[in-house]
Chains A and B, each alone.
Chain A
Amino acid sequence: MDQEARHRATTARRWWVLVFLIPTLLILSSLVLYPALRTITDSFLDRFGDQYIGLENYSALASSPRFHTAVLNSFLWATLFPLTVVTIGLVLAVLIEKVRWETAFKLVLFLPVAVSAMSSGIVWRMMLDDSPERGAFNAVATLSASIVSPAGDLAGARPTTGTITLNPDGSIAFPVEVSSAGAVANLGLIGIAEVDLPGNATTANPATRQPKSITGTIWRDAGSSNGQKGKIDKDEIGLSGILVKLISPSGSTVAQTYSVTGGRYAFEGIAPGKYSVLIPSEVTRTRWTGIEWLSPSLITPAAMLAGLWIWAGFSLVMIRAAMTRLDRDVTDAARIDGASEAQILRRITLPLLAPTLSVIGITLAIYGLKVFDLIIGIAPEPVQDDANVIALEMWRSAFTGLGNRGLGSAAAVIMFVMVVPVVALSLRSFRGSETRT
């Protein structure tokens, strides 16, 4: 090639560089670099972006409890969340290794990534609805709980008068002193749901005193229009089929029986002395209503659960891809030398996967610091303050209500400060894995 031709080629190339790069550089400098720097200087200005007010926006944020929640939650999203997702991805990757339908499994777990984060949040808001009638999670949870520990026959019942005590465990006790003439212990209760009333409910039947016996009536001490508390009034309903125990002063059970129609029960042949008639706690045990995921204290874990649903597949697919790239010879050699599968995993596979795991973790940490749509989707308005994250706070201060430019800018700057170290880490491990492959 002669001098002139080479010169021409270089000139042509220079033109191509300009054509190929100028649009990109123009857009990046005007829409990324300039606005970012502008936001940093704006964070020292007032709500209209007019007047310099020093660090006032930052001190306003520092003293706002809502912002504290946002920073704490964002921190959890950047640490706890990636850690959980990577761990679960790793466990699944190891489990799926020997299964033939690996591709189908990966597909099922990966699909949520394609759905918008807000939609995922909405889907999980429905799944985790507090009411067991509407939320699938609590429907399953309360159903299983009711099998393990069913609600009592008189769930939530409590005594009407002070002579009868309601113990902290929910049991109801009536202290009685029995003479040779016997004693009467009537247990008037309220707080009983209509559905718990006996099907063939009859009016309460007052018990009569009998020698050497404790007799009494268990009845619903309500329902009579002008009734008196602690008194069996006309039209009040007797509670049949209820377990009653007779407890000695030492605390041991002397006898137990069930109330019959009209609510009457009787312990016969009782030696004189002090006793206590007890309706045990399993009778008054209320139905467990499930976990209140969408309540202030659990809304962030609930959102992270939705995040896990979105990202576990990504984590699994990336880890599996890295595992298949690993050198089979090393693990095979170890297996021939008699290493156990657990040893191979811990000593060989995990160390070789470490760069991949950190790349996934960092990617998810960056996602976690920017999470926004997911919170909008899952958190009902009243608990949005508790689910608050830094990106949400930034949007709320800058764009909702009257809009506060300075404050919103300051929140964005703090978000930037949190993101920078994580991204710097990621660039380092990106470079690391680049030289590795």
Chain B
Amino acid sequence: MKQDHGVEGTASRRPRRLTEFVLVLIALVWMIPGFGLLITSFRSADEYARSGWWTALYRPGELTISNYVEFLSNGNLLGTLGSTLLIAVPATLIPISLATTAGYALAWIPFKGRKAVYLSIVSLLVVPFQLALLPALELFGTIKLSGLPAIWLFHTAFGLPLGVFLMHNFFAGIPKSIIEAARIDGAGEGSIFANLALPNALPGIASLAIFQFTWTWNDLLVALVFAGNRTPITVAIQQRLNDFSTGIEVIGPGVLLGAVAPLLLFFAFQRHFETAMKTGALH
């Protein structure tokens, strides 16, 4: 086969060129929707109804920042972004703190029935949150809980099964000798958890944070049911969908501004996330 190498080299270069061309084309196609939205958010509703966003490429004069000016000067709309943040941050931090502590206990503190508790928690992954909406709403009603705390608790509850599963797996990956050594040195479980286990599970925590934050930030249905007058940006957009072409002045900037936070988080935690994926811990 060796003598063929030169021939093969030139023969395989052409398919590679073709492959690269196809991949560039695919990447472009993948970027077009986002690009189109970006342009659309800088056009008026009249222009939107009259012509496609690409016409702005050869008539850049029609582009305007008025949608953004209006969005950012409208207290209600700006408030929806604030509500989204007020929902997503605690709805990410609470389940992470609970999932790490529970995951640690289930991985390293021996007690009777540990395996059964772990399996019951993980088996709750089968419950779609839709199955709990109505009774949970009623339950919150009887204990007079509504708005933000209700959403936090509900998101926490449905983030926990996956969170406990992921964190348990990460903690279980820590070599037993390290934990044992710390115990013999007299360290309590609290300090082993805080000083040993947590730092070792950062990639897992980062992945969980990305999952949970993206999910709660982007959520529509849970907010529709529990938010009350704490309208997040997704609900504000949804309310304008029925009148799509006039609503576009809000929808355009809203969708773009709403996508900023998850993207920032993704870029910030990208390295941890990749580590987690490479080790196969997310499978």
Contact = CB atoms under 8 A, between A and B. Distances in A.
Which of A115, A355, A427, A430 counts the most B-chain CB atoms under 10 A from its CB?
Answer: A115
A272 B18 CA distance: 61
B217 to A, nearest CB: 7
A394 interface: yes
A30 interface: yes
A357 to B, nearest CB: 11
A133 to B, nearest CB: 6
B188 interface: yes
Interface stretch (B34-42, B59-67, B199-207): B34-42
A359 B283 CA distance: 7
A71 to B, nearest CB: 15
Nearest to B51: A133
B224 interface: yes
A115 B259 contact: yes
A171 B13 CA distance: 50
B214 interface: yes
B121 to A, nearest CB: 6
Contact of A32 (B19, B109, B132): B132
Interface string B123-149: 111111011111110010000000000
A411 to B, nearest CB: 8
Interface in A380-437: 380-381, 391, 394-395, 398-399, 405, 408-409, 412-413, 415-416, 419-420, 423-424, 426-427, 430, 433-434, 437
B240 to A, nearest CB: 10
B218 interface: yes
A174 interface: no
B178 interface: no
B19 A126 contact: no
Given A31-B153, A123-B33, A369 B128 contact: yes
A373 B244 CA distance: 16
Given A376-B241, A399-B224, A427 B125 contact: yes
B220 interface: yes
B154 interface: yes
A5 to B, nearest CB: 9
B72 interface: no
Measured as residues with beta carbon below 8 angstroms from the partner, the interface class of chain A is: 35 or more
Given A30-B139, A370-B130, A408-B134, A114 B266 contact: yes
Contacts of B263: 111, 114-115
Interface in A306-339: 309, 312-313, 317-318, 321-322, 324-325, 338
Interface in B82-128: 98-99, 101-102, 104-106, 109-111, 117, 121-128
Contacts of A220: none
A116 interface: yes
A229 B217 CA distance: 65
Contacts of B238: 118, 376
Contacts of A120: 33
Residues of B contacting A: mostly: helix
Interface in B239-274: 241-242, 244, 251, 255, 258-259, 262-263, 265-266
Given A28-B161, A370-B128, A42 B218 contact: no
Contacts of B224: 395, 399
A398 B130 CA distance: 10
Contact of B37 (A28, A126, A399): A126
Nearest to B256: A119
A122 B193 CA distance: 44
A61 interface: no
B262 A114 contact: yes
Interface residues of B, number: 92
Given A16-B190, A139-B52, A405 B134 contact: yes
Contacts of A7: none
A99 interface: yes
Contacts of B156: 27, 31
A195 interface: no
B175 interface: no
Interface in A80-135: 92, 95-96, 98-99, 104-105, 108-109, 111-120, 122-127, 133-135
Contacts of A427: 122-123, 125
Given A96-B23, A373-B220, A127 B32 contact: yes
B27 interface: yes
Nearest to A391: B130
Nearest to A377: B241
B81 interface: no
Contacts of B259: 114-116, 119
A35 interface: yes
Given A28-B157, A325-B278, A372-B221, A35 B139 contact: yes
Given A114-B262, A437-B283, A416 B101 contact: no
A124 to B, nearest CB: 6
B14 to A, nearest CB: 13
Nearest to B240: A122
A277 B87 CA distance: 74
B16 interface: yes
B266 A99 contact: no
A4 B134 CA distance: 51
B237 interface: yes
A13 interface: yes
A87 to B, nearest CB: 14
Contacts of A36: 127, 131-132
Contacts of A342: none
A147 interface: no
Contacts of A124: 33
A229 B149 CA distance: 75
Given A96-B23, A113-B214, 20 more contacts: A13-B111, A20-B104, A20-B193, A24-B98, A24-B160, A28-B121, A31-B153, A32-B158, A35-B133, A38-B134, A95-B23, A99-B20, A108-B30, A111-B34, A115-B218, A116-B219, A116-B258, A324-B278, A355-B283, A372-B220
Interface of A: 9, 12-14, 16-17, 19-21, 23-25, 27-28, 30-36, 38-40, 42, 92, 95-96, 98-99, 104-105, 108-109, 111-120, 122-127, 133-136, 139, 309, 312-313, 317-318, 321-322, 324-325, 338, 355-356, 359, 369-370, 372-373, 376-377, 380-381, 391, 394-395, 398-399, 405, 408-409, 412-413, 415-416, 419-420, 423-424, 426-427, 430, 433-434, 437
8 interchain residue pairs of minimum CB distance: A116-B218, A35-B132, A31-B157, A35-B135, A20-B105, A38-B135, A16-B189, A114-B262
